[in-house]
């Protein structure tokens, strides 16, 4: 009798175990579960991100911008400010089947998430007119803030898309009759919406790094001291 090498015997045993497990899993499904998992549309998660442009406002003084910022560091002034607002919209849909025997129903969730920012508004202090070196330096700094927002959007999209696919991809939700859609809506409102908003808010840590003390020092010395001279002159008029 031919003897199999031990490694082939081990592989054959593993295949037998895997086949047995798959067979047991299939046999453990109820007829209703089989209908839900095999006949209705597979769960789909769709997520889109949108950027809505920007505009520049040069009509407010740096003192007004400092007040608008609110949380500026002590003994510092806000020469420019970038403002926007993150927006998260979630819609749900999905095919449904009802089991007349048990009264349960299943829904194949289709979750559509739209991420966007409100149009970005960039302020540059009115003490720095367009065309001056100070204006260009401050605007370039604010563009870094805007870029941080825009770069963050696709990262959130990737993270959320993967999480949604892990939760809903090919996995019907089961619930007593008349409650499946309600349960899905509750899960979206109490779980997914706060989660996605928290992911969007992570950009603020990046924004704080852009406004590090070293950056304030750099701006104060930029343009051969032009920015600092404007500040000194403005403080002298108080």
Side-by-side strand order, sheet with 80-83: 54-57, 120-124, 80-83
CA 237 to chain CA centroid, nearest Å: 45
Average pLDDT on 36-49 reads: 82
pTM for the predicted model, two decimal places: 0.78
**DSSP for 185-231, written as a single string:** HHHIIIIIHHHHHHHHHTHHHHHHHHT-HHHHHHHHHHHHHHHHHHH
Average pLDDT on 78-94 reads: 93
Tokens of 98: 């009802």
Our separate counts of H helices and E strands in the chain read 8, 9
CB 88 within 8 Å of CB 51: no
pLDDT higher than threshold 80 for residue 145: yes
CB 126 within 8 Å of CB 59: yes
Q: How far apart are CA 175 and CA 14, in angstroms?
A: 36
Q: What is the pLDDT of residue 171?
A: 82
Burial state string for 119-128 with b = 16 or more CB within 10 A and e = fewer than 16: ebebbbbbbb
Half-sphere exposure for 161 (CA within 13 Å, toward CB): 12
Give the start-to-end residue ranges of the domains of the chain. 1-39, 40-236
Q: What is the pLDDT of residue 118?
A: 94
CB 50 within 8 Å of CB 115: yes
Instruction: Tell me the per-residue pLDDT of 171-204, one tens digit each, with 9 for 90 and over.
Output: 889 999 999 999 999 999 999 999 999 999 999 9
Q: How far apart are CA 81 and CA 136, in angstroms?
A: 14
Half-sphere exposure for 79 (CA within 13 Å, toward CB): 27
């Amino acid at each position: 009798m031919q003897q199999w090498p031990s490694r082939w015997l081990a592989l054959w045993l593993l295949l037998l175990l895997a086949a047995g497990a798959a067979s047991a899993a299939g046999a453990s499904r109820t007829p209703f579960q089989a209908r839900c998992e095999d006949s209705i549309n597979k769960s789909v998660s769709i997520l889109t991100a949108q950027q809505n442009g920007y505009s520049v406002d040069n009509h407010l003084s740096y003192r007004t911008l400092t007040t608008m910022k609110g949380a500026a560091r002590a003994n510092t002034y806000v020469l420019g400010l970038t403002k926007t607002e993150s927006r998260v919209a979630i819609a749900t849909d999905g095919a449904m089947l009802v089991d007349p025997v048990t009264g349960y129903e299943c829904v194949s969730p289709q979750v559509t998430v739209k991420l966007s920012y409100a149009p970005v508004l960039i302020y540059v202090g009115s003490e720095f007119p367009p065309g001056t070196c100070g204006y260009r330096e401050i605007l370039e700094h604010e563009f870094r803030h805007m870029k941080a927002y825009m770069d963050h959007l696709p990262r959130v999209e990737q993270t959320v898309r993967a999480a949604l696919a892990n939760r809903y991809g090919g996995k019907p939700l089961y619930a007593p009759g008349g409650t499946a859609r309600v349960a899905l809506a509750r899960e979206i409102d109490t779980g997914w919406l706060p989660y996605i908003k928290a992911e969007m808010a992570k950009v603020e840590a990046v924004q704080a790094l852009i406004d590090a003390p070293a950056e304030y020092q750099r701006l104060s010395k930029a343009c051969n001291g032009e920015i600092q001279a404007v500040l000194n002159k403005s403080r002298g008029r108080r």
